[in-house]
Structure 1
Amino acid sequence: MKLAGIDIGTTSIGIVIVSSESGKTELVAIKANDAQLPSERSWERAQNPERIVEIVRELISGCGPAWSDVSAIGVSCQMHGMLYVDRSGRSVSPLFTWQDGRGDLMKPDSADTYADHLSKLTRHPMSSGFGLTTHYYNVLNDEVPADAAALCSIGDYVAMQLTGTAIPLIDASNAASFGLFSNKLADFDADAVARSGMNAAILPPVCAGTGIAGITPDGKQVACAIGDNQASFIGSVPDLIGTMLLNIGTGSQMSAYTEELEEIPGLETRPFPGGGFLLVGAPLSGGKSYALLEQFFKSVCLAFGGGTEAKDQHLYERMNALAEEVLNSPLNAGLGQLRVGTQFYGTRQDPFERGHIAGLSADNFTPGYLAAGVLTGIVDELMGFVHLLPENLRASLNKAAGAGNGIRRNAVMQRLLRERLKLPLHLAEAKEEACFGAAIYAAAAAGAFPDIHAAMAAMKRG
């Protein structure tokens, strides 16, 4: 049996074809996600869902004859963001992504932002970028399209377009990322939605267990789309139990699996496909904090006549080399290390918090120390969430898995994680972790294995 896994990321979209028997990845294809839409609103972040579907179809077309052997398709997608569809299942709005900032705007006649006001009304922690925070703003500002019949994630929308279905069916992993979700009920909190003044009729139904969203015209089963955090966990960890996942891409995440429902202040409890939960700490910083530093160095070069031909990857390689020299220097072992807070984009709890640099001296005011400080700051912010895990769960973790290009392509980041965690760091053999995880999930949803645990055990390659 051949499975396909599709991951719809913020900046790229990928597809893999995997054998259910060996777990071998037989095809990998990636395309840039160029669906970003310009906006006159500085806080708005939107993408064109029809362009995203077009890119997915281009990737499928590029699979050639291998596509005919695929029996089931799994879809993973960027979480939190949402779009509106009409009764025929067509998009009637952009995809408002997880980076959208309308929830951080001040609500008129209130001392609160829209997100804070919604949190108080519903007694659920809501952040800007959450699907229902975005919808709440749109409701209050008459920006919900007149023909909107339902809202859904971009993964749900791709599944709808592949199968021709008109009604979105959402997995709990994506539903929870919208906010106002009850882990106990495994459904949206209808009472909280009512307190907000929003109409719950626009919410999509939540699929139970390992659900199927529909069938393609050529007979392929399409699993309900799952969140990219959960898909990356499935595709990255050697075992569900005893492994922590650290994912550094555009943002960053710390995730640990638990079979029991636990609510920990400071951590998100996210439903896991097929049962159980992930305890997740999700800073807004990550790879984009290091990218911000790269842009700073590039602008310095340009400002002082360094030219415009520097290749991004070469600049990153030089930054990493300078950072490693610093980490190996005697000064770094004492008081000479720069301390960088990488909250350049705020935090989910406080969107107005900002980064900082401390410990500057005549000895460490250098590009190398700045690079090392930013990398260390990214890791330290993740470690703050690790320490929030329940002591019994933290004690049971005997290895860590690293995912995302921010880890995979950066040996200095890998070194810092190993030093801080004091655990072996496993890098998944599947380089497109979320795609691979989506394919594994599809195997379980299509009935090739009795559940997700069995599918993971059979299809893991390393």
Structure 2
Amino acid sequence: MQTAGIDIGTTSLCLIIADVLSGKALRTITRPNDAGLASSRSWEALQQPDRIVRLVQSMIAECGDEWRHVGAIGISCQMHGIVYVDGSGQAVGPLVTWQDRRGEELIDAGGSTYAARLEALTGYRLATGYGLVTHAYNAAHGEVPAEAVALCAIGDYVAMKLCGAAAPVTDASNAAGFGLFSLGAQRFDLSAMAKAGLDAAILPRVAGAGDTAGRTPDGKLVACAIGDNQASFLGAVKTLKGSLLFNIGTGAQVSAFSPEAMEGEGIEARPCPGGGYLLVGASLNGGKSYALLERFFRETCRAFMPEFGDGRSLYARMNELALEAMAEAGPDFPAGLANGPQVGTLLYGTRQSPGATGYITGLRPSNLTPKHLIVGWMNGIIEELLGFVEVIPQQLRAGVTSVSASGNGIRRNPAMRRLLQARLGQQLFVADVEEEAAFGAALHAAVAAGYYDDHEAALLGMHRGFDQT
């Protein structure tokens, strides 16, 4: 009665073995994702898919005798990116990740971008990094490998390799991340593909209810891979309904479960495993933006103190300084933030406005200090996420009974947690299972294997502890 959850993230990979009855994480293994590939094109973001497969296989091997008790495997993966595969199921090119920006390239001088053109042709909201935007660029430039017969998510590819399958099957949670996906029909929109001049034969089969990726040679069921946003939600909240999740990792998202697909400005509906949708506001900044501030401080230290060295991290000290500034504010916190630097942290733009930039205003002699800048920076990250909350339909916001937080950008940063809770004005819960996406994948595997009837039942059965901030 154990399941495994494997999360394939942009910067790290994780495997969790969970007890199906108690939800206890019996084994947790993490690896850096060192599959990145260098490129001469500044906008390109690539990883080596077979290196990722080998990393997954090494984590499984490390489990040793514990692995034989696992009955089912769930996979969570970074969304939007694509891998091309041939007729035998072998990758014939790199994984082009969600961070790739070829969709922002101009079709011709003074013309629109590839993402904007595809959006205009099809009527679907799209952005650079979406799999079919990437594919449209590749098709226009002759960069689709000649051997390619299908594209898929990296989680689909790992599932194929675990099962020895030759053709990918993709869950709707990943399929929708490619773009040109009809939420109502729960399938790719073939007429939209035709309008875009794209051959629909390249699309993977979308899994139906009860479909799985297959079984491993030793008989373990492998569930179809699900998006990491949906998996993190499953791994971080107490219940599906009534939960609001703030995730700050490499990027950042606000997510809420809805039985129906609803959308607002900057909010998209993403299929949720088992039915229903996550309403998601997704930031391209989040932890990436905070990492830029840490890099700025390190470069400043090296510029004035060459002996500082290259290998030191300043995150812990930055968090201490932020907590100091909050404590000094006393009863004026968080209202007093208006007297500090106001930081716009959109350094990587937004999906709707890729060219958006960051800014700092409100500087005074009293607040031009590292600690005040750090707090202002954190507040800018949170401000973008709170903006997404405001456009979630009112009837859904009114039903929120629990707010959770996840992701290393908030889990390892007590100052960020304190600031978010103060801005929300209500209790914030953090699951005691640190790798939420991997745990969510293990929970999904428990449903796919029939240990639970649905995901709501699995959330109640595989109960985790929650820390209150």
Bin of the TM-score, shorter chain as denominator length: over 0.9
Comparing 165-174 and 395-404, the one that deviates more: 395-404
Report the Cα offset of residue 370 of structure 1.
1.0
Report the Cα offset of residue 310 of structure 1.
6.9
Once residues 273 and 182 of structure 1 are traced to their aligned partners in structure 2, the CA distance between those partners, rounded to angstroms, is: 16
Match of 1:377 in 2: 380
Residue 432 to residue 417, structure 1, CA distance change in 2 (3 Å):
same
Once residues 233 and 305 of structure 1 are traced to their aligned partners in structure 2, the CA distance between those partners, rounded to angstroms, is: 43
Once residues 312 and 78 of structure 2 are traced to their aligned partners in structure 1, the CA distance between those partners, rounded to angstroms, is: 25
Match of 1:444 in 2: 447
Once residues 426 and 211 of structure 2 are traced to their aligned partners in structure 1, the CA distance between those partners, rounded to angstroms, is: 35
The alignment status of 1:458 with 2:457, answered yes or no, reads: no
SS of the residue corresponding to residue 447 of structure 1 reads coil
Maintained 8 Å contact 1:210/1:274: no
The one-character-per-residue Cα deviations of 1:364-397 (angstroms, maximum 9, x if unpaired) are: 1111111111111000010000011111111111
Once residues 427 and 310 of structure 2 are traced to their aligned partners in structure 1, the CA distance between those partners, rounded to angstroms, is: 35
Match of 2:324 in 1: 325
Unpaired runs of at least 5, structure 1: none
Alignment of 1:175-324 (within 5 A): 175-305=175-305, 307-309=307-309, 312-313=312-313, 315-324=314-323
Alignment of 1:337-376 (within 5 A): 337-376=340-379
Report the Cα offset of residue 334 of structure 1.
6.8
Residue 210 to residue 233, structure 1, CA distance change in 2 (3 Å):
farther
Maintained 8 Å contact 2:342/2:376: yes
Please tell me the residue identity of whatever aligns with 2:234.
I
Report the Cα offset of residue 261 of structure 1.
2.0
Q: Report the aligned-residue RMSD.
A: 1.3
Once residues 110 and 124 of structure 1 are traced to their aligned partners in structure 2, the CA distance between those partners, rounded to angstroms, is: 23
Residue 157 to residue 334, structure 1, CA distance change in 2 (3 Å):
closer
Match of 2:161 in 1: 161
The alignment status of 1:425 with 2:428, answered yes or no, reads: yes
Match of 1:59 in 2: 59
The alignment status of 1:106 with 2:106, answered yes or no, reads: yes
Please tell me the residue identity of whatever aligns with 1:238.
K
The one-character-per-residue Cα deviations of 1:313-370 (angstroms, maximum 9, x if unpaired) are: 4x21211121122223348727531100000011111111100001011111111111
SS of the residue corresponding to residue 7 of structure 2 reads strand
Maintained 8 Å contact 1:23/1:461: yes
Please tell me the residue identity of whatever aligns with 2:341.
L
Match of 1:130 in 2: 130
Please tell me the residue identity of whatever aligns with 1:440.
L
The one-character-per-residue Cα deviations of 1:224-258 (angstroms, maximum 9, x if unpaired) are: 00000000000100111111011000100000001
Match of 1:8 in 2: 8
Once residues 181 and 445 of structure 1 are traced to their aligned partners in structure 2, the CA distance between those partners, rounded to angstroms, is: 23
TM-score by length of 1: 0.98
TM-score by length of 2: 0.96
Comparing 111-120 and 87-96, the one that deviates more: 111-120
Report the Cα offset of residue 309 of structure 1.
3.8
Maintained 8 Å contact 1:86/1:92: yes
Maintained 8 Å contact 1:267/1:281: yes
Please tell me the residue identity of whatever aligns with 2:351.
R
Comparing 230-239 and 450-459, the one that deviates more: 450-459
SS of the residue corresponding to residue 31 of structure 1 reads strand
Maintained 8 Å contact 1:46/1:100: yes
Match of 1:116 in 2: 116
Maintained 8 Å contact 2:263/2:392: no
Maintained 8 Å contact 2:262/2:268: no
Identity %: 53
User: Would you say how many aligned residue pairs link Structure 1 and Structure 2?
Assistant: 461
Once residues 337 and 190 of structure 2 are traced to their aligned partners in structure 1, the CA distance between those partners, rounded to angstroms, is: 55
